[in-house]
Structure 1
Amino acid sequence: MYLLPIFAVIIGYLISLILKPGSSSGFKLLLAFSGAYLLAVTVLELLPEVYQKPNSGIGVFIMLGLLLQIVLEFLSKGVEHGHLHSHKNSKSFPFLLLFSLSLHSLLEGFPLNQDNHLLHGVVVHKIPVAAILSVFLIQSKLSKPKISMFLGLFALMTPLGSWLHGNLPTLSKYSDYINAVVIGIFLHVSTTILFESSKNHSFNASKLGVIILGILLAYFI
C-alpha cells in the first residue's frame, strides 16, 4: 500500500518525458478518468462512512477541507487538477508549491489504509498530477538533484500520511473529522477536474466515456 503512491509519481515522471501533458488528448482523458473515479469513490464510500457515526460538525469539516484546498491551489496554481503554469526563466526552488502539494498529499494519505478503492483512486489521480508537476519542474530549469528531491518528497507524503494515521493513536481518535476534511479536498479537486477537462466546458464522446467508465469502476470494483 505504501509503495503504490510512490510508483504513481515515478510513472507520472516517465509520462512527462514521453508525452506533452499540456496538449496530449490521451493525457486529458486520463485526467478526466481520475477525476471521475476519485469523485465516485468519495461520494459512494467515504461520504457515507463519516455520516454513519453520530459525530457533530462533520459537514463543517467537509467545508473546511474544501476551503483548505482552495487556499492550497492558490499556492500551487492548480497543479492538483491539471493546470500547468511554467516559468522558464525562473530557477528558484518552488517552496510554496512543495508545501501546498505536500500538505495535500499528506492529508489524502490518512484514509487510505481504510479503503483500497480510495487507494486506487488516489494512485490514478496522482499519475497525471506527477506528470504535470514534472513538466513544470523541468521547464523551470531546476537542477536534476532539486527535481529529484522535490518529486521524492512529494511521493513520500501520501505514504507518510497513511503511516501516521495507522501509528498515532491521537490521529485515529479524530479520524472521522480528518476524513471529512479529506472529503472536502477530494470533492473540490475531482469536480474541478471534470468541469475543466474540456475546452469551453464541453464534453466529447471520448471524455464522456472515460468519465462514465471511472464512475462505474468505482461502483462495481
Structure 2
Amino acid sequence: MHIVLPLLAVGIGFLIAYFIKSNAIAIKLLLSFSGAFLLSITVFEFLPHLYQQHLPYTGPMIMLGIVIQLLLEYLSKGAEHGHLHLSENQYQFPYLLFISLCLHSLLEGYPIHHHDHMLYGVVIHKVPVAVIISSFLLNSNLSKVKVAIFIVLFGIMTPLGAFINEHVTALKAYEPYINAMVVGVLLHVSTTILFESSKNHQFNTKRFLAIILGIIIAFFI
C-alpha cells in the first residue's frame, strides 16, 4: 500500500491535468484541505511519537528539516506547496525543479512504511501538487517523453523513500533522527500552504471550511 498509493496519487493528478484541465479554485481548496490534513497528522501523531522516544537532538533535527525544505523550495520555486513561478515557454528540462521535488518526495516517503496515517496525509498532499506540476509540464514546450520521464520518476520517489526505510539496514540506527527531519519538512510545507491559502490575508469561507474539515478528519481517523 505504501508503494501503490503514492504512485496512484501522482497518476490521478496527472490524469486530472491531462483530461479535465484543472479548475484553479478547486485545486486551491484541495491544497488547503491537504495542508491542514498533513499538518494535523504530523502534530497529532507523528510529532508526539518522536518526543515519546526521549532522544537527544530531536528539536534540532526538526529545525534542520525546515531549513532543508527552505533550500528545496528555493530550487523548485514553491512547487511542493502548489506554486510554480517558472516560464512555460521553455524547451530545456527543468532540472532544478526535478531535483528539488524528487528529494522532497524521497524524504516524505521515508516514514510512511511504519505510519499509515502519515501515508494518507502524503497521498492527499500529492494529488493537487501533481495536478499543478503536470499542468505546467503539459503546457510547456517540453516533449511528451520528457514530461513522462519527469512524472514517472517524481511518482517513484515517495515509494523509494519507504523502500529505503524498510530495506537499508545501515540507516536503522538513524531512523528517529531522519523522521524528525521529515517532520520539519512536512511542518514547513503544510504551514506554508495554510499561510498562503488566503490571498492578501482576506478571509475565504470555502478555504476555511476545507481547512477545518482537514483537521477534523485527521483527528478522528
TM-score when normalising by structure 1? 0.96
Shift in Å at residue 204 of structure 1? 1.7
Shift in Å at residue 201 of structure 1? 2.4
Match of 1:130 in 2: 130
Shift in Å at residue 173 of structure 1? 1.5
Shift in Å at residue 211 of structure 1? 0.5
CA distance in 1 between partners of 2:88 and 2:105 (Å)? 26
Shift in Å at residue 101 of structure 1? 0.5
AA matched with 2:5: L
Match of 2:34 in 1: 34
8 Å CA contact retained: 1:85, 1:136: no
Shift in Å at residue 199 of structure 1? 0.9
Match of 1:162 in 2: 162
Shift in Å at residue 69 of structure 1? 0.2
In the alignment, structure 1 segments of 5+ residues that lack a partner are none
Shift in Å at residue 213 of structure 1? 0.7
Shift in Å at residue 172 of structure 1? 1.9
8 Å CA contact retained: 1:13, 1:130: yes
Match of 1:202 in 2: 202
* Secondary structure in structure 2 of the residue aligned to 1:187: helix
Match of 1:51 in 2: 51
Match of 2:21 in 1: 19
CA distance in 2 between partners of 1:19 and 1:200 (Å)? 26
Shift in Å at residue 218 of structure 1? 0.6
Indicate the percent of aligned positions where both proteins have the same amino acid.
Answer: 55
Shift in Å at residue 47 of structure 1? 0.5
CA distance in 2 between partners of 1:94 and 1:11 (Å)? 22
In the alignment, structure 2 segments of 5+ residues that lack a partner are none
TM-score when normalising by structure 2? 0.96
CA distance in 1 between partners of 2:53 and 2:29 (Å)? 37
**1:2-45 deviation digits (Å, cap 9, x = unpaired):** 01000100111112121345xx2111110000000000000111
* Secondary structure in structure 2 of the residue aligned to 1:113: coil
AA matched with 2:13: G
- How many residues were matched structurally? 219
CA distance in 1 between partners of 2:106 and 2:152 (Å)? 13
AA matched with 2:179: N
CA distance in 1 between partners of 2:74 and 2:151 (Å)? 20
Shift in Å at residue 88 of structure 1? 2.6
CA distance in 2 between partners of 1:215 and 1:206 (Å)? 14
